[in-house]
Amino acid sequence: MESIRNIFEKIVTFFRENPQYAKLILPLFGVLLLVGAICNWEWLFENDGRVFNLAWVKYNISETFARILVGGIGVLLIILGVILYFTT
């Protein structure tokens, strides 16, 4: 647990010293979601007991709709991140 805390502190320190890279977190997370939806990563749709999450969408509506939803959210985050990066 201590090593995770140290890694987190290093990441926070890096973004404090280099604030221009903090704007890239949003599009990188969008790329992660988009690739996860395309590759059908199971951890993206794991059921953790909550009433409404991606696993709920996958098992009650359809897996295809859940993957399209996650891919769309990923694309939206990429677009918003790029707009944020170039406007600020």
> Mind listing the pLDDT tens digit for each residue in 10-68?
888 988 888 878 788 889 999 999 998 899 888 887 777 665 577 878 888 888 998 99
The confidence band for 2, taking pLDDT boundaries of 50, 70 and 90, is low
CB 70 within 8 A of CB 33: yes
Model pTM? 0.74
* 59: in domain: yes
Say what the pLDDT of residue 48 is: 72
Phi, psi of 46 (to 5 degrees): -70, 145
Domain assignment of residue 69, given as a range: 19-87
* 32: in domain: yes
* 7: in domain: no
Higher pLDDT, 88 or 70: 70
Say what the pLDDT of residue 54 is: 78
CA dist., res. 80 & res. 71, Å (int)? 14
The total number of structural domains in the chain stands at 1
Tell me the one-letter amino acid at 33: L
